[in-house]
Amino acid sequence: MKIRAAIAREKGAPLSLESVDLENPRANEILVKVAATGVCHTDLVVRDGMLPTPLPVVLGHEGAGVVEAVGAAITKVKPGDHVVMTFNSCGACPSCRDHATTYCHEFFPRNFFATRVDGSSGLSKDGESINGNFFGQSSFATHALCHEANVVKVPSDAPLELLGPLACGVQTGAGAVLNALRVLPGKSFAVFGAGSVGLSALMAAVVIGATTIIAVDTKPSRLSVAKTLGATHTIDPTEVNPVEEIMRITGSGLNFALDTTGLPAVIRSAVESLGPRGACGILGASGPDAEIVLNETHFMSGGRRLIGIVEGESNPDIFIPMLIDLYRQGRFPFDKLVKFYSLDEINKAIHASETGEVIKPIVRMT
């Protein structure tokens, strides 16, 4: 079938809107008509050649839409079901068998290689193969092929166009707080970086009942949003030393911290902000040569912990519907982070994300 897709053809260049051919779903695939897709920092990193995803490729990994057709082996969903498409996993490795799919032993090839397991792609144009299956979906397109492992059925009366970011960015931030760090009621929490992931973490800290909630960012506009979402304190590290200010606010240091920037110097500040027995999670993408330097005496003597986190350590089939329920209750207002764009405006949406003009752009496909 013919579909419209935004193709990354050259490193760092704007995406190209083109008409391409999409194969019918194989026995283990699901065809989804995409309603809308969030723009995530990971899409931009891949477009810019910082990860070895082959070009040309259709990116997009925060898709939401309606199932149009399913392969013969599919039992999880049926045509007409509303779904969110999240990260892909193999379902068979030790992590997957332990229901820890965010740490699937094949996470990288299943999500970043942009091919099926057999190396093929369901996308092509005039005989040219276009890499697809990015995060098991390639949802910068009007239609996508996905899999049972990465499709989550959602209520048909939920606002489908809004739900795509729950697949990655929002899930990652909220899950880091609720699943990985397991922030406790009455405790202190700080997030370093107040983008869509950081603000999702902040909202989750509010949900769980943390009483001191600090947002650290260099953009005053984001700190202002953080205040509206429940931050009790905000810190601009260009104006004050964040470690000293956090110590002033908390007295003895943080119970929990989360870095979303991936910057080693910021991670060190987050760890140095911890009180005894405090825990810091890291989830920001860093370059392959990035290293974290910590003061061993400070880190060890207080029983502090540093934890790497992928996709919020969530079980998407359970966690995404839970976030939808919290949103409907008015307790998780992630809609305040978004701005919508049409598919024709996808490069404008990407630019808004890069500049920080918009916290979470969402691209509508129709």
Q: What is the token pair recorded at 219? A: 């953009």
Q: What is the token pair recorded at 19? A: 């008409």
Output the pLDDT for position 290.
86
**Which neighbouring-strand residues pair with 121?**
none
Q: CA neighbours within 13 Å on the CB side: how many for 108? A: 4
SS (H, E, C) the chain: CEEEEEEECCCCCCCEEEEEEECCCCCCCEEEEEEEEECCHHHHHHHCCCCCCCCCEECCCCEEEEEEEECCCCCCCCCCCEEEECCCCCCCCHHHHCCCHHHCCCHHHHHHCCCCCCCCCCEEECCEEEECCHHHCCCCECEEEECHHHEEECCCCCCHHHCHHHHCHHHHHHHHHHHHCCCCCCCEEEEECCCHHHHHHHHHHHHHCCCEEEEECCCHHHHHHHHHHCCCEEECCCCCCHHHHHHHHHCCCEEEEEECCCCHHHHHHHHHCEEEEEEEEECCCCCCCCCCCCCHHHHHHCCCEEEECCHHHCCHHHHHHHHHHHHHCCCCCHHHHEEEEEHHHHHHHHHHHHHCCCCEEEEECC
Question: What pTM does this model have?
Answer: 0.96
Output the pLDDT for position 107.
97
Query: How many angstroms separate the CA atoms of 219 and 238, rounded?
Result: 10
Query: How many angstroms separate the CA atoms of 268 and 259, rounded?
Result: 10
Output the pLDDT for position 52.
87
Output the pLDDT for position 284.
85
Query: How many angstroms separate the CA atoms of 161 and 170, rounded?
Result: 15
- Mean pLDDT of successive 10-residue stretches along the chain, which has 366 residues: 97 97 98 98 91 95 98 98 98 97 97 96 96 97 98 98 98 98 98 97 98 97 97 98 98 97 96 98 84 94 96 97 98 98 98 94 95
Output the pLDDT for position 285.
77
